[in-house]
Amino acid sequence: MTGLLNLDALKTAAADGTIDTVLVCLVDMQGRLMGKRFHVANFLDSAWEETHCCNYLLATDIEMGTPDGYASTSWESGYGDYIMKPDLTTMRVLPWLEGTAMVLCDILDHHTHQPVPHSPRAVLKKQIERLGELGFSAMMATELEFFLFKDSLETLREGRYMNLEPISGYNEDYHILQTTKEEPVMRRLRNGLYGAGIPVENSKGEAETGQEELNIRYGDALACADHHTIAKHATKEIAWQQGHAATFLPKWHSEKVGSASHIHLSLWKDGSNAFFDANGKYGMSETMRQFMAGMIHYAAEYTVFLAPYINSYKRFMTGTFAPTKTAWSVDNRTAGFRLCGDGTKSVRVECRIPGSDVNPYLAQAALIAAGIKGIEDNLSLADPVSGDIYNDDTVPEIPNTLRSALELFRDASMLREAMGDDVIDHYTRCAEWEQQCFDSAVTQWEIERGFERA
């Protein structure tokens, strides 16, 4: 059995013993899957309608700590419940886990049964609805880059992540020989995801030792984010099953290229690409130009949603294919925004700013919100920039630290208007805590640099 399931198919699979376990999952602030494993009988009896979880799951840091300062929940309020409402359109078999299916949930308030606005799926759904009011839908795709290591997660953790050795010894960008050696992981990943109903296109070696890229066919915005999240989770599980570790940390070594998660986007209307105009320069419609103008104009304000951690900003380095400027260009990988498919019906924009640690729901929502603002305000798109944009001093820079991005995010009027003060305050607190944790840390670099010589 493979692919998506409905309740009747699940009942049949439960009766013949094909499926005995259902993962009921939410997506947390960090873009991870959290939830419960149900015996299929209990899921079919009641949990397919709803189950519950602690509301701290949308107010923790990456280590599952419970920082203060969130309006939605706290020790003072007692950390109550949320409702996990399965979205049965996402129910699918997980071929890499024996006898297991999975479903994603929307998060509802326990008392009102209304969506929790800062839930990542709800944040994206709101922007999809706003776009729909303008008559458009967003088609999107994300690229997942990550590193594979020779040893297991357990071995690396016990060694405090020192002396990390990638699965390969040289740059493997498009390299067939080296990626053949990695097929015990990557073939299982491609086939497992495809068997789960996720339209995998391909995988390839990326531009560093042990670096991989997984590409999934474009889809509507919510499906894209769901596919990304499941694929990221599957990558870690399947690598672990094969005795290897996978990481989506954007910059694991100062001398290595970082990992990205580029986002491709176009707007559609009446079954056609609304970004395409055969008579427009580069095949771009006026709608596309306004939408892109909004994305670029507000890029610095929503960078926190594209780069949520301290480490995210270590990736933005000259000459590494990671952008440092917010300009757009035609098929130029030194730009923050790249025009792809120029002159064709598949014309689209690629945002190259997000790293591999991105929460796709939040990043996609931010891009849509900024683009909507560009359409609403009839913003004009500047001319494309060409050449080596890294060294173009006329182009605004992407914030280069979380601290600087946070200051812009906190006061981002566009995001507050589009998403609500409560949502922006919630994720402001998330970023503040990340910065506070780093500020209080003593790093190995500091010790080695100053222990004797300071």
- Give pLDDT, residue 141: 98
Residue that is last in its domain, among 53, 86, 116: 116
Query: Per-residue pLDDT tens for 322-342?
Result: 898 889 999 888 889 999 999
List of residues 6+ apart from 417 with CB closer than 8 A? none
- Eight-class DSSP state of 217: -
Q: Are residues 49 and 197 in the same domain?
A: no
Residue 173 falls within a domain, yes or no? yes
Q: Are residues 104 and 173 in the same domain?
A: no
Q: What is the DSSP string of 403-454?
A: HHHHHHHHT-HHHHHHH-HHHHHHHHHHHHHHHHHHHT---HHHHHHHTTT-
Q: Are residues 271 and 394 in the same domain?
A: yes
- Give pLDDT, residue 276: 97
Q: Are residues 249 and 336 in the same domain?
A: yes
Q: Are residues 385 and 317 in the same domain?
A: yes
Residue 452 falls within a domain, yes or no? no
* Residue ranges of the chain whose pLDDT lies below 50: none
- Give pLDDT, residue 1: 65
Domain count, the chain: 2
Q: Are residues 95 and 206 in the same domain?
A: no
Q: Give me the CATH number covering residue 306.
A: 3.30.590.10
Phi, psi of 60 (to 5 degrees): -115, 165
Contact 389, 335 (CB under 8 A): yes
Residue 257 falls within a domain, yes or no? yes
Helix and strand counts by DSSP (H, E) for the chain: 14, 16
Query: Per-residue pLDDT tens for 64-77?
Result: 999 999 999 888 88
Tokens in use for 307?
């780069």
Residue that is last in its domain, among 63, 97, 116: 116
Contact 274, 300 (CB under 8 A): no
Residue 180 falls within a domain, yes or no? yes
pTM: 0.96
Residue range of the domain that includes 75: 7-116
Q: Are residues 384 and 276 in the same domain?
A: yes
Residue 1 falls within a domain, yes or no? no
Q: Give me the CATH number covering residue 63.
A: 3.10.20.70
Residue 451 falls within a domain, yes or no? no
Selection from 284, 280, 276, 200 nearest residue 238 by Cα: 200
Q: Which residues pair with 328 in a beta bridge?
A: 337
CA distance readout (Å), 403 to 13, 26, 290, 439: 50, 29, 29, 10
Residue that is last in its domain, among 57, 86, 116: 116
